[in-house]
Amino acid sequence: MVDVLTSEVIRRPRADVAAYAADPDTAPEWYVNIRSAVWRTPKPLAVGSEVDFVAHFLGRELAYTYRVEEYVPGELLVMATAQGPFPMRTTYTWMDDDEGGTVMTLRNAGEPSGFAAVAAPFMSFMMRRANAKDLARLKEILEGKG
């Protein structure tokens, strides 16, 4: 089992952080490993929406489709993919902090199979590192906007 939880305080209102982070079109801007995001279903984002992503992770190109399972704008986004050797569920949460900013939490959890199961501890480490970079980049982008 892989279960990686990362959070960051972003000095922007929750509505701004959530709107930007939940928009698949912005994912290549702040996710270090995501190269592209293409909608399979019509916009806007809603439960049942599907988005194709292409990412580069551990020296490999990965193509996968996320399906939105839960979405409460400004509070929660849960997406999951079932294909490939490493089905993954990604959860974003947004909460106000005491100083008018936002605590964003990013969680990736999955049950790898085959070789991916053997490499799960290493993959957890690499995902934790990538997630920290992603949230730091998101913070940099959003705090840079006036």
Q: What is the DSSP string of 30-97?
A: H-SSEEEEEESSPSSP-TT-EEEEEEEETTEEEEEEEEEEEEETTTEEEEEE--SSS-EEEEEEEEE-
Tell me the domain boundaries of the chain: 2-144
Task: Say how many residues make up the chain.
Answer: 146
At 100, list the tokens.
């008018």
Taking each helix axis as running N to C, give the angle between helix 120-144 and helix 14-21, from 0 to 180 degrees, rounded to the nearest 10: 130
User: What's the CATH superfamily of 2-144?
Assistant: START domain (3.30.530.20)
Tell me the residue type at 47. Answer: V
Question: pLDDT (tens digit, 9 = 90+) per residue, 14-69?
Answer: 999 999 999 999 999 999 999 999 999 999 999 999 999 998 876 778 889 999 99
Q: In this predicted structure, what is the pLDDT of residue 146?
A: 46
Cβ-based neighbour number of residue 17 at 10 Å: 24
What does pTM read for this prediction? 0.90
Spacing of C-alpha 94 from chain mean position: 12
Please write the tens of the pLDDT for every residue from 90-131: 999 999 999 999 999 999 998 766 655 556 667 778 889 999
pLDDT at 80: 96
